[in-house]
Amino acid sequence: MIKSFFATTREIDDPQAAAAEITEALNLEKNSMKNSLGIITCFSEFDDTGALKAICDALPFDCIGATTNLCSAAGEIDQVLLAITVLTSDDCSFKAILLPINEDFDTSIGADLTTIMSQSDEKPAVILSYFPLINTVSGDMILAAIEKVTGDIPIFGTMAIDHNPDYSSAKTIYNGEAFREATVLGLIFGDVECTFEVASLDEGKIRKQKAIITESSGNVLISVNDKTAIDYLLEIGITKNDLETGLGILPLVIDNKDGTKPVARAVFALTPDGHAVCGGAMPVGATLALGRIIIDDVISTTEKALGPLAAEDGVILSYSCMARYLALGADGTVEAEKVREMIGGGQYLFAISSGEVCPLPNDKGKLINFFHNYTNVFCRLS
């Protein structure tokens, strides 16, 4: 069984004061059990000022996580906030892992994970994942490298983001250090109950006309229906102005035809050849449709997905895509407020993400790990 407790701080300029506020709120002597793991999400400047390191140094267990531009826990919601969730248990154990992303990351991740996994007689029940935001390495590529070793173990988590236009300070977190190019994992061993849900696009906002991906390279969409990606988008009514200024609000919905729910993909950029650089894998043969996201859909899909989880005991981790946050416009905190309202100020951690990792069941009920965009992913642990 896993229990949890939470703390937040807005003290960004005085590292020692921030550490004192967090440790006092956590009350470790009263709340900690035999084994613990800290999950942190924070505004990136907590790293710049040393507050992040001071907080982690003051805690007697591993801390993992990622930067964000809005987060919520313990009833607090803010941009300039550090939130920590502590998972604690007498019969479950935790292991934190740092995996650098280098030119040969596929091989190095496999080798490092194989060594670490071989040190335990049991497999993790679930893996919490924190991916870096790197232009040259997509979330799907990192996920695939991990799965080569972990197999069908459920993986859940987020990709780092920050408040800068170029996301230059988006970092993953490992024991008080922040990394631009490293993946951080938290392995949870033992009798863990975990449930997953996703809030994505409203099905009514997905075009009925479907196309076929005819050529791709990883997360680069090369052709659809044997036309270049840009020609296909123009053909279905996307304007040149949309392509120049509105790529972030043009969700592409991919059906992998494997019995799992369709997943949404963001378009990050267009190449001079007319190809689309997307936020996740674009497999050849999958069907593709254009979606749309509006404020009401962000809230309604979150209500539908979170409802069953909020009714049960346990801690809920919630990571919501930056595109959903942008769709809310001036009401950017509304989804966080909805999560807080539905859980009743209870045990949860919410953060904005640049990409989400969450399993989906196929038509036989088997969980398949996916990297998502335009999605709020939920994991309930108990």
Q: Which residue has the higher pLDDT, 183 or 204?
A: 183
pTM of the model: 0.92
Predicted confidence at residue 292, as pLDDT, reads 83
Instruction: Return d(Cα 178, Cα 315) in angstroms, integer.
Output: 25
Q: What is the mean pLDDT of residues 8-28?
A: 98
Q: What is the per-residue pLDDT across 47-82, written as a single tens digit (0 to 9) for each?
A: 999 999 999 999 999 999 999 999 999 999 999 999
Instruction: Return d(Cα 199, Cα 239) in angstroms, integer.
Output: 28
Instruction: Looking at the structure, tell me whether residues 36 and 172 fall in a common domain.
Output: yes
Contacts of residue 113, defined as CB under 8 A and 6 or more positions apart, other chains included, come to 97, 99, 146, 149, 150
Instruction: Looking at the structure, tell me whether residues 208 and 195 fall in a common domain.
Output: no
Instruction: Return d(Cα 10, Cα 202) in angstroms, integer.
Output: 35
Instruction: Looking at the structure, tell me whether residues 13 and 162 fall in a common domain.
Output: yes
Instruction: Looking at the structure, tell me whether residues 40 and 180 fall in a common domain.
Output: yes
Q: What is the per-residue pLDDT across 285-311, written as a single tens digit (0 to 9) for each?
A: 999 998 888 888 999 999 999 999 998
Name the domain count of the chain.
2
Burial string for 345-355 (b: 16+ CB within 10 Å, else e) reads ebbbbbbbbbb
In the chain, where does DSSP find H-type helix? Answer: 15-26, 28-31, 45-48, 51-57, 105-118, 139-150, 229-235, 240-245, 295-310, 322-327, 334-343
Phi and psi torsions of 282, nearest 5°: -125, 80
Q: What is the per-residue pLDDT across 173-186, written as a single tens digit (0 to 9) for each?
A: 999 999 999 999 99
Q: What is the mean pLDDT of residues 96-107?
A: 91
Instruction: Looking at the structure, tell me whether residues 145 and 273 fall in a common domain.
Output: no
Instruction: Return d(Cα 38, Cα 19) in angstroms, integer.
Output: 14
Q: What is the per-residue pLDDT across 119-139, written as a single tens digit (0 to 9) for each?
A: 888 999 999 999 999 878 889
Angle at 190 between CA 187 and CA 196, to 5 degrees: 65
Predicted confidence at residue 222, as pLDDT, reads 95
Strands 315-321 and 63-68: unpaired
Which residues pair with residue 267 across a beta bridge?
A: 278
Do residues 55 and 176 lie in contact, with contact meaning Cβ atoms separated by under 8 Å? Answer: yes
Instruction: Return d(Cα 3, Cα 125) in angstroms, integer.
Output: 16
Do residues 285 and 256 lie in contact, with contact meaning Cβ atoms separated by under 8 Å? Answer: no
Residue 123's domain comprises 3-199+297-381
Instruction: Return d(Cα 377, Cα 354) in angstroms, integer.
Output: 12
Instruction: Looking at the structure, tell me whether residues 59 and 142 fall in a common domain.
Output: yes
Instruction: Looking at the structure, tell me whether residues 161 and 212 fall in a common domain.
Output: no
Q: 255, 274, 290: which is the final residue of a domain?
A: 290
Instruction: Looking at the structure, tell me whether residues 11 and 118 fall in a common domain.
Output: yes
Instruction: Return d(Cα 13, Cα 10) in angstroms, integer.
Output: 9
Instruction: Looking at the structure, tell me whether residues 169 and 58 fall in a common domain.
Output: yes
Instruction: Looking at the structure, tell me whether residues 238 and 186 fall in a common domain.
Output: no
Strands 315-321 and 376-381: antiparallel
Instruction: Return d(Cα 355, Cα 344) in angstroms, integer.
Output: 26
> Among all chains, which residue has been given the structure tokens 């003051």?
58
Tokens found for residue 131: 């991916």
Q: Which amino acid is at 173?
A: I
Q: 230, 260, 290: which is the final residue of a domain?
A: 290
Instruction: Return d(Cα 84, Cα 337) in angstroms, integer.
Output: 18
Instruction: Looking at the structure, tell me whether residues 39 and 155 fall in a common domain.
Output: yes
Q: 238, 259, 290: which is the final residue of a domain?
A: 290
Tokens found for residue 204: 């009514």
Instruction: Return d(Cα 353, Cα 373) in angstroms, integer.
Output: 9
Do residues 145 and 104 lie in contact, with contact meaning Cβ atoms separated by under 8 Å? Answer: no
Among 187-191, 230-234, 363-367, top mean pLDDT goes to 187-191
Instruction: Return d(Cα 148, Cα 171) in angstroms, integer.
Output: 24
Instruction: Looking at the structure, tell me whether residues 213 and 324 fall in a common domain.
Output: no
Which residues pair with residue 187 across a beta bridge?
A: 95, 127
CA distances from 346 to 49, 184, 305, 310, 362 (A): 30, 26, 17, 9, 31
Strand order in the sheet with 172-174: 3-9, 82-89, 35-43, 63-68, 172-174, 177-179
